[in-house]
């Protein structure tokens, strides 16, 4: 909803969609919009002592931030408050905790072992990604950043989010051959990402570095090697370009295809092993079935997407519902489980690995038979992109964690005027209190693991 620059006040959408809570706090924090009737309009990413709203147009970057020691001698003061009544205990889970998957700080009030109240404190990993993207040119300088949002091997999926947005903004048609390579690379990333989600979830439930975690890492390593062959990098791929990809498949191509085929052929066996060790284990079922319940309406209200939404029975996958790349030409299924609990989120990820393998298989078949003189990896893109003033665009792709969207407003220059990232983890993490209040601490930890958040993407 547009607001005036002089009086940036809007109405809160929180009563309608719970997800607006955090998103409005973020807009308040970074841009400085006030929301009427918002239940809890605090800063979310920046420290409480921050002065000004850094993405606002009138923000002065050169003004020093002065927070006096007298007023802020103990920055943790709020974290040591007593829980009020003597039956409950206030504990800080994180920011340094083995199971928070990064620097997440969960302010928890427990009654014995049961979680009474819970509030996620994020922003420890805020790196001004949006602002950095606003300072880069469309053509080349933005593409390296998406790799750093969800840095757990989902790089190509993130790059695609930017590529899709900018290509639609500038009307660039991507060659079919490049789309197939993109699709294959993205699905490899999805497998790698789901493998680590699986491993760390097992880690949270099993405790310590157990066999299943190591197995998942071992199999992910193979994907990682394939991606390294393809992109030359293991983590910060920077492989996509506007209008295509940076280079063709590595030579000798047969060897590369062989490597992928070997992996795909051995995958069912590996998954069988995982099912033996995880999903058919009775103790794990006792731990995960019926815990961390997220009903479909609640999931929708919080804007949960990706495996979290599909684990709650919501049949929503952008690869099919807003198709891009080469997905609509291929034969694959959207995985949905309607258990709504930790177990079904785990199952969704395991089955999605199978679907991704199917997609990769078909991509490899297509790429193998592609005529040599038609291997066009890059469309013609102008050296400088200058979209018209005040054009706006929002495009999203199905990242490993859910709907990863990017909003760009152009101002006629070669750099975006506003670059907003809609991070799936950010919305998914909001569901944590719904899933864990009233549950035991171990179940809260398991629910957090089943959300599969990456703090790099939550905080950006």
Partner 1 sequence: MSLQAVLPDTISGLLGLEGILGDVVGGLVGAFLIANIMLIMTAFAGPWAKRKITAAFGDRIAVNRIGPFGLLTIVTDAVRLLSKELIVPEGVDRPAWDLAPMVIPFSALLGFAVIPMGNGIQLADPETGLAFAFAAASIASLGIVMTGYASNNKFSLIGALRAVASNIAYEIPLVVTAASVVIFAGSLRMSEIVAVQAEPLLSVAGVTIPTWFAFVNPFAFALFIIANLAEVGRNPFDIPEAPTEIVAGFQTEYSSVYFVLIYLGEFIHIFLGGAIAATLFLGGPAGPVLPGFVWFTIKIWAFFLFTQWARSAIPRLRVDQFLEIGWKGMLVLSFANLVLTAIIVGVIV
- By the criterion CB under 8 A, which residues form the site for partner 1? 89, 91, 97-99, 113, 202-211, 213-215, 218, 277, 281, 283-284, 286-287, 440-443, 445
Measured from the CB of residue 72, what is the shortest distance to partner 1 in angstroms? 21
Task: Give the nearer residue to partner 1 in terms of CB position, either 125 or 346.
Answer: 346
Helix (H) or strand (E) holding 9: strand 9-11
Task: Give the nearer residue to partner 1 in terms of CB position, either 346 or 366.
Answer: 346
Measured from the CB of residue 286, what is the shortest distance to partner 1 in angstroms? 6
Asked if residues 391 and 169 have their Cβ atoms less than 8 Å apart, the reply is: yes
Asked if residues 191 and 357 have their Cβ atoms less than 8 Å apart, the reply is: yes
Measured from the CB of residue 440, what is the shortest distance to partner 1 in angstroms? 6
Distance CA 257, CA 355 (A): 18
Task: Give the nearer residue to partner 1 in terms of CB position, either 175 or 442.
Answer: 442
Measured from the CB of residue 450, what is the shortest distance to partner 1 in angstroms? 13
Task: Give the nearer residue to partner 1 in terms of CB position, either 206 or 332.
Answer: 206
CA–CA distance from 204 to each of 82, 111, 430, 446, 447 (Å)?
Answer: 28, 22, 20, 6, 9
Measured from the CB of residue 204, what is the shortest distance to partner 1 in angstroms? 5
Distance CA 436, CA 442 (A): 10
Residue 281: name the closest of 343, 371, 208, 336 by CA. 343
Helix (H) or strand (E) holding 205: helix 176-206
Beta strands in 38-104 (DSSP E): 89-93
Task: Give the nearer residue to partner 1 in terms of CB position, either 37 or 272.
Answer: 272
Measured from the CB of residue 393, what is the shortest distance to partner 1 in angstroms? 42
Q: At a CB cut-off of 8 Å and minimum separation 6, what does 171 contact? A: none
Task: Give the nearer residue to partner 1 in terms of CB position, either 292 or 325.
Answer: 292
Q: At a CB cut-off of 8 Å and minimum separation 6, what does 412 contact? A: 386, 387, 388, 389
Distance CA 134, CA 141 (A): 10
Measured from the CB of residue 119, what is the shortest distance to partner 1 in angstroms? 17
Which residue reads 């297509």 in tokens?
A: 366
Task: Give the nearer residue to partner 1 in terms of CB position, either 129 or 219.
Answer: 219
Measured from the CB of residue 354, what is the shortest distance to partner 1 in angstroms? 22
- What's the order of all strands across the beta sheet hosting 403-410? 392-398, 403-410, 416-422
Task: Give the nearer residue to partner 1 in terms of CB position, either 3 or 92.
Answer: 92
Measured from the CB of residue 91, what is the shortest distance to partner 1 in angstroms? 5
Asked if residues 460 and 423 have their Cβ atoms less than 8 Å apart, the reply is: yes
In 10 A of CB 384, how many CB atoms? 10
Asked if residues 346 and 450 have their Cβ atoms less than 8 Å apart, the reply is: yes
Task: Give the nearer residue to partner 1 in terms of CB position, either 204 or 403.
Answer: 204
């Amino acid at each position: 909803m547009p607001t005036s620059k002089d009086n940036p006040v809007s109405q809160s959408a929180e009563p309608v969609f719970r997800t607006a809570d955090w998103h409005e706090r973020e807009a308040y924090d970074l841009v400085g919009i006030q929301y009427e009737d918002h239940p809890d309009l605090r800063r979310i990413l920046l420290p409480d002592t921050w002065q000004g709203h850094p993405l606002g147009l009138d923000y002065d970057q050169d003004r020093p931030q002065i927070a006096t020691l007298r007023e802020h001698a103990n920055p943790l003061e709020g974290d040591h408050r007593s829980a009020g009544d003597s039956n409950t205990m206030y504990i800080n889970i994180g920011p340094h905790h083995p199971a928070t998957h990064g620097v997440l700080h969960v302010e928890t009030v427990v009654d014995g072992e049961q979680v009474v109240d819970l509030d996620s404190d994020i922003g420890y990993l805020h790196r001004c990604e949006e602002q950095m993207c606003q300072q880069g040119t469309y053509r080349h300088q933005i593409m390296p950043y998406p790799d750093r949002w969800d840095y757990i091997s989902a790089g190509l999926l993130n790059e695609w989010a930017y590529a899709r947005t900018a290509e639609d903004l500038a009307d660039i048609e991507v060659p079919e051959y490049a789309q197939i390579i993109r699709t294959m690379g993205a699905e490899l990333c999805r497998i790698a990402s789901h493998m680590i989600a699986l491993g760390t979830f097992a880690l949270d439930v099993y405790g310590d570095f157990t066999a299943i975690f190591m197995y998942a890492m071992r199999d992910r390593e193979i994907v990682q090697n394939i991606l390294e062959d393809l992109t030359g990098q293991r983590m910060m791929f920077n492989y996509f370009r506007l209008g295509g990809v940076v280079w063709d498949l590595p030579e000798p191509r047969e060897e590369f295809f062989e490597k992928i085929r070997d992996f795909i052929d051995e995958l069912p066996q590996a998954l069988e092993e995982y099912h033996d060790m995880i999903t058919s284990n009775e103790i794990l079922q006792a731990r995960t079935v019926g815990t961390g319940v997220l009903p479909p309406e609640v999931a929708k209200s919080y804007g949960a997407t990706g495996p979290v939404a599909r684990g709650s029975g919501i049949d929503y996958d952008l690869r099919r519902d807003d198709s891009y790349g080469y997905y609509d030409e291929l034969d694959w299924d959207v995985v949905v489980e309607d258990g709504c609990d930790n177990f079904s989120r785990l199952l969704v990820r395991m089955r999605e690995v199978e679907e991704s393998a199917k997609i990769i298989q078909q991509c490899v078949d297509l790429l193998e038979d592609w005529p040599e003189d038609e291997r066009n990896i890059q469309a013609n893109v102008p050296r400088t992109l200058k979209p018209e003033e005040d054009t706006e665009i929002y495009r999203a792709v199905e990242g490993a964690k859910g709907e990863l969207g990017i909003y760009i407003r152009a101002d006629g220059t070669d750099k975006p005027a506003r670059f907003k990232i809609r991070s799936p983890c950010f919305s998914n993490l909001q569901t944590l209190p719904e899933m864990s209040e009233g549950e035991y601490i171990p179940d809260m930890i398991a629910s957090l693991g089943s959300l599969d958040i990456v703090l790099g993407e939550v905080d950006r």
